[in-house]
């Protein structure tokens, strides 16, 4: 039986913001999301990176990757559709040029990796093994699997297991599996990710979408379709977190999708997330992570509770 929801206390909260995600202890539950915070300390011009729970860098492959043809981003109502295509310098260049800047900024660094085969995930993880200054690896499984007919890894339990086992064998770091909401097997895949070595799951990546140029009668993005992100998918993210927490209550979750203020962060925590990531909001306002962090701290103080006490509270 689950414990009852926490009752606000008149006693002061000594550690209002500290949370744990598996074996990783974070100073607070607000992180900058992969893909919107850059590869290095770019956000440091606007936000004290040391004040955040962590910075999840843009996903890295073992070697450099050019990404998709332009245009890559386009507005879609209250959301954004993108098909950047995981452009990146590769692990070696990142370790040499970007990681030192993040370390000097005092950031808690979570490196994100991707691949097109299980072996490529293993190679990216192996290249980061033993590198100082990395707290955890986020394994981005929302990538086409060249060994499996180009279906996304996160849509296939067997492919998910293979990628995570390859990364786990090489990394020597806590693994967080970033999953896709574009499947009715999400709960099953989350359990497989846990069994394959993930200490936590990140829910969820973008929702498949497309925008058309009606004058030209063709997609506006160079790659055709892309991933929808921002406030329009927040309810999807809350449902993903809710369903996985209900099915796997002992599996830590990092919630991501449409977080833009304290209330949207609290929703994900109450649905079952131990921490949240701020992504698309950063592209609108590069200070968004700091604003969410400050707003969440005020919300917790006003409600005389702490972040850890909110996790899964809505499940009763």
Give the residue numbers marked as catalytic: 143
CA–CA distance from 266 to each of 15, 138, 145, 275, 278 (Å)? 17, 22, 34, 10, 13
Cα separation, 161 vs 216, whole angstroms: 42
* Residue position matching structure tokens 């386009």: 74
Measured CA to CA, the distance from residue 134 to residue 227 in angstroms comes to 27
Calpha distance 38→81 (Å, rounded): 17
Nearest-angstrom CA–CA distance, 193 and 154:
9
C-alpha pair distances (Å), 156 with each of 70, 150, 181, 198: 29, 11, 12, 16
Could you give the 3-state DSSP secondary structure of residue 20? strand
Cβ-based burial of 316 (10 A; exposed 0-12, middle 13-18, buried ≥19): exposed
Q: Compute the distance between CA of residue 278 and CA of residue 276 in angstroms, rounded to an integer.
A: 7
Rg of the Cα atoms in the chain: 18
Half-sphere exposure of 305 (CA within 13 A, CB side): 17
Pairing outcome for strands 175-178 and 200-203: parallel
């Amino acid at each position: 039986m689950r414990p009852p929801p926490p009752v606000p206390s008149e006693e002061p909260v000594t550690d209002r913001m500290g949370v744990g995600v598996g074996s990783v202890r974070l100073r607070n539950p607000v992180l900058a999301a992969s893909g919107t915070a850059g590869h290095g300390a770019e956000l440091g011009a606007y936000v004290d990176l040391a004040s955040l729970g962590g910075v999840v860098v843009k996903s890295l492959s073992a070697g450099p990757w050019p990404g998709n043809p332009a245009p890559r981003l386009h507005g879609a109502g209250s959301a954004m559709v993108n098909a950047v295509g995981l452009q990146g310098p590769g692990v070696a260049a990142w370790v040499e040029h970007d990681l030192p800047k993040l370390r000097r900024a005092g950031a808690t660094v979570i490196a994100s990796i991707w691949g097109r085969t299980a072996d490529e995930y293993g190679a990216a993880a192996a290249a980061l093994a033993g590198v100082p200054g990395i707290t955890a690896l986020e394994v981005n499984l929302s990538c086409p699997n060249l060994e499996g007919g180009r279906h996304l890894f996160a849509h296939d339990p067997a492919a998910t297991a293979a990628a995570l086992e390859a990364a786990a064998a090489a990394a020597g770091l806590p693994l967080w599996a970033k999953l896709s909401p574009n499947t009715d097997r999400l709960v099953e895949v989350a359990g497989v990710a846990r069994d394959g070595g993930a200490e936590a799951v990140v829910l969820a990546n973008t929702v498949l979408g497309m925008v058309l140029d009606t004058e030209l009668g063709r997609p506006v993005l160079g790659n055709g379709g892309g991933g929808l992100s921002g406030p329009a998918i927040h309810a999807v993210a809350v449902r993903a977190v809710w369903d996985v927490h209900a099915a796997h209550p002992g599996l830590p979750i990092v919630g991501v999708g449409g977080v833009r203020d304290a209330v949207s962060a609290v929703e994900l925590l109450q649905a079952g997330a131990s921490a949240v990531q701020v992504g698309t909001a950063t592209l609108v306002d590069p200070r968004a992570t700091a604003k969410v962090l400050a707003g969440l701290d005020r919300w917790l103080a006003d409600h005389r509770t702490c972040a850890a006490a909110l996790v899964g509270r809505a499940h009763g």
